[in-house]
Structure 1
């Protein structure tokens, strides 16, 4: 392999490349190019016409380092841009797939010609100082290539950049990389000064003068520094300036103003606030998202995960990250906040503890004491030392605020900070000022969240400050303040439920969740929190329902209700606790007496307090409770009362939700005409319903869900399917319970139209969703739908076995809403297996269950199926009577589709009996349909009618 010759000059196109001075010119002007890009160009030009492999290029530009191919591609792209590749047909570097790169432009070697541009004029009176040795560059820097490129460009144009960020984030590492990257641009004139060991601000200017090789005879050498640099080109890197920022700011500002050839790079946890300074906030390394289902290789696309695995391997952990450990790795990266130092310190312990144990260790203070490289500066040998360094640089008032704010488990607002960190009677301005300083010094991060600004301590900083809070002796008083703030914030946002920007309100409440959980745990575990338990749990109860955390809502509500006293009994807090308990019991365990009692007690309190919104919610929940238990006669009175309550409140979404409640009640008691009328009125107000956020009293009332079933019953199968389709897609309800209901009712509809593949799909989604939200009763329903699908495709025995397992669970939970349909399916399956008598017994039991509740919506279908089994058993007279009763009830209910099914069954019976005009009733009913002719029932009816004409 021919190495590039160090002394010759070559030309290609309008360019001259001078090896000795490492200078690329175009038309006599220097071309800006990074040192590694220049190394790559020199090798390609020296081998012009040959294919140079990627490995050769990597080895040449990064000798002795392991570098990913993406770095090579980035520098090749930089070269092509600098050379104007593609402009006016110019071609210089081409990629040879799977082989490497080739320099394809003609190259002319012209010996030892000097560069056309002379180096900048030097001040003749002072000799050039020897260049200090730069700190060695890391073998491989991960996740910061874009930063290096961007800041390099800014240093060349804006000349004065400060890297700002928390301790351990990697400021010094990136600064060293930049210094090496830009060394060629400054002809090797780079001065790197580490100020971490300079304790006295008065020594700052003298330290800079010493690095420049100046000998000065007075106490302030700033003038001499500026005079020396005025006509020079140089990169000055001032590292770790946190504790001497004022002195650094004065000197840096003078150099920037009076030495135009000098670029300045500063690293600090706070900005210098100097004129001309450009701040570059060095953020954390991006980590993989939790819960995204990524495999191990996909995790490594994220810099934080890549750094962790590489440092773990370097420390002797040879095992690769398996796919089953990928989520654990994501959690580790999240806990380490993307801080490079924290990642390195944790990674070296994987071999000792393993990934899963490491997750637990990261929750404690131990991580602050883990030691890193012995050669690292003392402040970087442990996370605790890094934070000690920062803590020692802030004022006492800032320390007080920092340790008090460590009580927050999640991002907090300015209001939260002032209520928790401030003393009673203190002006809020004092906390604001301390907070601003902590943000400026990178101890607290800040981010906008819509119209609100939120603040956060990184996990490592929070662990450190939490220990300081414990040492201060005020942990209990601050925890009490925090719990009171959480209660206040939740009650305030709940009171604003029907006003203002509901999306912002919902977001504000969601962000409070982690703090609500922490406050509850403290209050129930400490005697000092006894007086806060009921009010705090009452304030949190609604939040748990809004976030679909029903198990957690049930737990805290149950505990708090045992602690009621005369001051809290009958209060708004008890109302919320009872409402939450009843709702949670209904969906997570069973439709028990305890659930009904809690809902009834909540309704009693709402009426006593004159709380219309809560009354509507409790009426709606009781309506749903009785739907599930099959007590259909109780539905309509509750729904009508809810509708009157919503109208009294005057809220459009509530009125639409009330219409939906009345409509679904009419549907279940078997009045499909009234059901359609009310549900369509509710859907007409659905725009108001769609704009609702969790917390609105009518949230989750979706008339479109029952309307789809009513449309099928009324004889509009196509409209029904169109109505249902969005409910399990883009327009699916956001509430976890309502999404389950949407899947259930859609599955029943698809079964009615004979689309069993959709039923199977719905049941699978229902099962997964119910499992993820611990909604056990819906898992049983999903199994029932799956059993129906099995029977429909001929797996009768297996389907029957599954139904026999499902139905006892539903009956035990008093969940009868779907039990009659599953019993009906079981009865038909038994008949298919030659057990019609057993099937008839099952069906009689199903009919007996609904009779005490009055005429149910599916009573016509159950009567029809009874007739089918009676006909199969040879009792034609009983079968005929059942069919006639079914037809009469279907007509009374306005359920044309039920009537069509029964007319089809009756027509088959009459044909078998050779009765006159056996198909007249079927023909008349079929003629009433205007759509749905490709659905199962209409196709079956048409086939029967067509047979009669043959």
Structure 2
């Protein structure tokens, strides 16, 4: 966990207390507080890392670094510290206990303290995406201080108020204010762009870099947040309030260190929520004698005057002018948005005329909206009046811009809404005008400016569009975002952080809206099919498999004969197959992928073929059809070479090397895997990135297994650890899980159970977080194997049975043979020889049928042990000899050593010591490394028994 530690310079002030760390002095309102040395050490440790959970063991190691003490000592001094602080008295709260975990200092800290952060993982949170706060925010300083205190005390703080009151501005300012307390781990999730409540959890998961690999992303989201200390800002929640309330409640139950800041027009009304009513800005009262100085002391007047100056207007503020300002502010109820809109008109109309226009338009609106909430009256009146002040050109542009959902760029605006009479200079000039009039928001993402209509403004403008214009705009909008997907789709697999993902994620909201429009009317089906075909590869790359399945199947069902065999059908069939493979297993996957490949082959495009052959190879491996997988991988490699693209070629090497490895063709597998591993880092926009990863990143884990089988156990361990390290640094979960699977197999084969156990826990955590449930089942199976080796055979067998059954049920068969070997070993240990023999015979037959021959020598060795247990030593010896020969042909020295050792032990038992030594010694001497591994140590022990 990232946290601030180390030394603190200066004073730490909280509540009525001041802690001088250098002088080791605590004072309350200037009066020294008597505090024991250990209690003072505790306070310094906790206050130096505010809002950070410090475990009990961590605190004890700091307070008593050279002494072993009981936990009761910590509780004793903590009680004394809390008593000295008056913690819990009269509402004061300084230290909170997280049951079973530790303590956290929760009071706001002020003063001159400077925390020196050590390098124990306190790197900047990569998904942080807060916009910068305004250089000056008028009238909200007290709100920020009050809210800061609430965030330290409550898991959820909801800023509630009318539309346009400034909730988002305050929330962003507050989040920036608190960001250092959370080591930069602050994430803004703008739900205002979502129209479907079911997208709330996927939207948050995407911002946090969590792949959406199932229909319900919430378990993965909660698993990710469980031990994190993050500030989440949920912005604009009123239209999805029930869903957000349920999600927030689940998060605070599962993740005690997470803090949630909500902006909404209504409260969530959940346990643990503190509701903060954000009022409008205070306005000067009606007082004909009030001076300009007094009027400008009120926040509403300050904001109005500052916005007048920002718009370029210049005038000397007299007492009379100030009174007009005060009247305008009162008429607008101190609503920040309305004040800004009105202030920007002063340059064009003057202060008095602006007030007159306000009277004419807003008064009528208020009178006509008596039954509506006050904020809707004010906002509606503001929009009516503001729209009436626009030029005809600006009105047209505003109406047409309403086709966008959320953010858009100048290029998007030009492509979508331009007409023959609306050229580029006129359009861009109008956009500048709308920004200046506060009807259009502008923000920067790097070097790119993005624009957004406020939700109420967009709804208002949409209402003014005529039906014909709306249809034409929607068609243009859909066509633009189809081109956008085709242009930027290859970038998606490389996007890993919140700021990188945000512009693309906002674009996807427009894609969703365009898809909904296109399939809502049969006359637009062709547009929808084209758009869906461009969208499904992006949904795949972002692990949005439910949406990938939904739109690919929707488009396929609407497809007419003229689309059959088209590139669109190819993409849609691939999208359907891949999404179903990950969401539902093998059902309907193969027909869809086969059809997609058939189209790709007919079109003769090597890149298109590769994009289908890769997933098809993965499908065959997942379902345990290793022979078909090898055939597919061979084709994949050939097609990759034909592309001439380095990324595709690297991916082809991996697919082929992976399949060759499981097929027992170890020498060729090593060549292919090393070729993939030795390739240079590749650009993200290369064709191979379609499947979301690159061959270079995946090859190491399989190569590590291959090296062990070839009799290079030390090289195998080095490769395994190096691959895991690189995958962890790249933070690509699928790559890391594959690296861990390869590494754990090597650790188990070497007999390094401690390393295996450590990495199994890592695999369970990462795979569970990203819905890679088959990997979790495999990891649990590896856990069970360790239990069997450590003597708990009954529990291990029971767990292995469940794991294998789950893998069979999900049609994931890549590792079932390896787990079956562990299960049979356990059955032998508890004397269930007959069941074990039946299972090993079945496993051998399946290997010969399905093709994962890399396990065949070990299966034959295991069968020999079962025969020996059945008192058929002659047959056991013959079976071991066959296992040795199978290992020799395969080049699997790792398996051959085991079988040779066991046959030599049989010979020793028959007092054929010379024969045993002659058989085993040459094999042992072939090994130049790995002499501390279990297999070589037991082989040497057998050799020692051959000495007479």
Could you tell me the TM-score, scaled by structure 1's length? 0.61
1:416 aligns with 412
Is the counterpart of residue 53 in structure 1 residue 53 in structure 2?
Answer: no
2:702 aligns with 706
**Structure 1 pair 942–581 and aligned structure 2 pair: CA distance change class (3 A):** farther
Is the Cα contact below 8 Å between 1:444 and 1:455 reproduced in 2?
yes
Is the Cα contact below 8 Å between 2:443 and 2:451 reproduced in 1?
yes
Secondary structure of 2:727 counterpart: coil
User: What is the 5 A alignment of 1:750-829?
Assistant: 750-829=747-826
Deviation at 1:910, TM superposition (A): 1.7
Deviation at 1:714, TM superposition (A): 1.1
1:688 paired residue among 665, 677, 682: 682
Is the Cα contact below 8 Å between 1:617 and 1:698 reproduced in 2?
no
Deviation at 1:666, TM superposition (A): 1.9
Deviations 1:883-903 (A, max 9, x none): 111111111111111111111
1:931 aligns with 929
User: What is the 5 A alignment of 1:560-571?
Assistant: 560-571=555-566
1:945 aligns with 943
Deviation at 1:322, TM superposition (A): 9.5
User: What is the 5 A alignment of 1:398-437?
Assistant: 398-402=394-398, 404-423=400-419, 426-437=422-433
Deviations 1:884-938 (A, max 9, x none): 1111111111111111111122122222222242133222111111222222222
Is the Cα contact below 8 Å between 1:588 and 1:776 reproduced in 2?
no
Deviation at 1:827, TM superposition (A): 1.1
**Structure 1 pair 495–684 and aligned structure 2 pair: CA distance change class (3 A):** closer
Is the Cα contact below 8 Å between 2:645 and 2:686 reproduced in 1?
no
**Partner Cα separation in structure 1 for residue 27 and residue 648 of structure 2:** 73
1:536 aligns with 531
**Partner Cα separation in structure 2 for residue 583 and residue 636 of structure 1:** 19
**Partner Cα separation in structure 2 for residue 869 and residue 479 of structure 1:** 70
**Partner Cα separation in structure 1 for residue 784 and residue 457 of structure 2:** 56
**Partner Cα separation in structure 2 for residue 662 and residue 830 of structure 1:** 35
Deviates more, 1:383-392 or 1:465-474: 383-392
Is the counterpart of residue 550 in structure 1 residue 507 in structure 2?
Answer: no
User: What is the 5 A alignment of 1:124-523?
Assistant: 171-173=137-139, 284-286=173-175, 288-289=186-187, 323-324=252-253, 333=262, 336=263, 346=266, 349=267, 376-377=333-334, 379=338, 382=375, 385-386=378-379, 388-389=381-382, 392-393=385-386, 395=390, 397-402=393-398, 404-423=400-419, 426-457=422-453, 461-473=454-466, 477-494=472-489, 509=504, 511-523=506-518
**Structure 1 pair 778–463 and aligned structure 2 pair: CA distance change class (3 A):** farther
Is the counterpart of residue 622 in structure 1 residue 578 in structure 2?
Answer: no
Secondary structure of 1:688 counterpart: coil
Deviation at 1:538, TM superposition (A): 0.7
Is the Cα contact below 8 Å between 1:167 and 1:387 reproduced in 2?
no
Is the Cα contact below 8 Å between 1:756 and 1:789 reproduced in 2?
yes
**Partner Cα separation in structure 2 for residue 769 and residue 811 of structure 1:** 22
Is the Cα contact below 8 Å between 1:509 and 1:543 reproduced in 2?
no
Deviation at 1:818, TM superposition (A): 1.0
User: What is the 5 A alignment of 1:652-663?
Assistant: 652-663=646-657
2:79 aligns with none
1:579 paired residue among 574, 584, 587: 574
**Partner Cα separation in structure 2 for residue 322 and residue 507 of structure 1:** 22
**Partner Cα separation in structure 2 for residue 706 and residue 297 of structure 1:** 32
Deviation at 1:828, TM superposition (A): 1.3
Is the Cα contact below 8 Å between 1:506 and 1:694 reproduced in 2?
no
**Partner Cα separation in structure 1 for residue 850 and residue 582 of structure 2:** 22
**Structure 1 pair 326–618 and aligned structure 2 pair: CA distance change class (3 A):** closer
Instruction: Kindly tell me the number of residue pairs found equivalent between the two proteins.
Output: 668
1:900 aligns with 897
Is the counterpart of residue 915 in structure 1 residue 915 in structure 2?
Answer: no
1:835 paired residue among 825, 832, 835: 832
Is the Cα contact below 8 Å between 2:477 and 2:514 reproduced in 1?
yes
Secondary structure of 1:173 counterpart: coil
2:672 aligns with 678
- RMSD in angstroms over aligned alpha carbons? 4.9
Secondary structure of 1:704 counterpart: helix
2:288 aligns with none
**Structure 1 pair 815–615 and aligned structure 2 pair: CA distance change class (3 A):** same
Is the Cα contact below 8 Å between 1:538 and 1:576 reproduced in 2?
yes
Is the Cα contact below 8 Å between 1:767 and 1:782 reproduced in 2?
yes
Is the counterpart of residue 878 in structure 1 residue 875 in structure 2?
Answer: yes
**Structure 1 pair 890–465 and aligned structure 2 pair: CA distance change class (3 A):** same
**Partner Cα separation in structure 1 for residue 549 and residue 404 of structure 2:** 24
Deviation at 1:807, TM superposition (A): 2.1
Deviations 1:751-786 (A, max 9, x none): 222233443344444444444443443343333223
Secondary structure of 2:681 counterpart: helix
Is the Cα contact below 8 Å between 2:647 and 2:688 reproduced in 1?
no
**Partner Cα separation in structure 2 for residue 171 and residue 506 of structure 1:** 28
Q: Which runs of 5+ in 2 are unaligned?
A: 1-12, 17-25, 33-46, 51-83, 86-107, 113-130, 145-163, 177-185, 188-203, 209-223, 238-247, 277-328, 340-373
Deviations 1:475-534 (A, max 9, x none): 5554443322221211233489999xx999988655533332333334334546433222
**Structure 1 pair 356–820 and aligned structure 2 pair: CA distance change class (3 A):** farther
**Structure 1 pair 684–822 and aligned structure 2 pair: CA distance change class (3 A):** same
**Structure 1 pair 664–526 and aligned structure 2 pair: CA distance change class (3 A):** same
Secondary structure of 1:382 counterpart: helix
Deviation at 1:858, TM superposition (A): 1.0
**Partner Cα separation in structure 2 for residue 590 and residue 298 of structure 1:** 35
**Structure 1 pair 923–418 and aligned structure 2 pair: CA distance change class (3 A):** same
Deviation at 1:824, TM superposition (A): 1.3
Is the Cα contact below 8 Å between 1:167 and 1:390 reproduced in 2?
no
Is the Cα contact below 8 Å between 1:167 and 1:386 reproduced in 2?
no
Is the Cα contact below 8 Å between 2:651 and 2:688 reproduced in 1?
no
Secondary structure of 2:831 counterpart: coil
Deviation at 1:847, TM superposition (A): 0.8
Larger radius of gyration: 1
Is the counterpart of residue 849 in structure 1 residue 870 in structure 2?
Answer: no
Deviates more, 1:641-650 or 1:392-401: 392-401
**Partner Cα separation in structure 2 for residue 389 and residue 328 of structure 1:** 41
Is the Cα contact below 8 Å between 2:491 and 2:684 reproduced in 1?
no
Could you tell me the TM-score, scaled by structure 2's length? 0.61
Deviation at 1:544, TM superposition (A): 1.2
**Partner Cα separation in structure 2 for residue 403 and residue 614 of structure 1:** 41
**Partner Cα separation in structure 2 for residue 388 and residue 296 of structure 1:** 47
**Partner Cα separation in structure 1 for residue 419 and residue 707 of structure 2:** 63
**Partner Cα separation in structure 2 for residue 297 and residue 828 of structure 1:** 40
Is the Cα contact below 8 Å between 2:249 and 2:271 reproduced in 1?
no
Deviates more, 1:384-393 or 1:607-616: 384-393
**Structure 1 pair 169–937 and aligned structure 2 pair: CA distance change class (3 A):** same
**Partner Cα separation in structure 2 for residue 387 and residue 169 of structure 1:** 29
Deviates more, 1:861-870 or 1:810-819: 810-819
**Partner Cα separation in structure 1 for residue 452 and residue 111 of structure 2:** 27
Is the Cα contact below 8 Å between 1:606 and 1:615 reproduced in 2?
yes
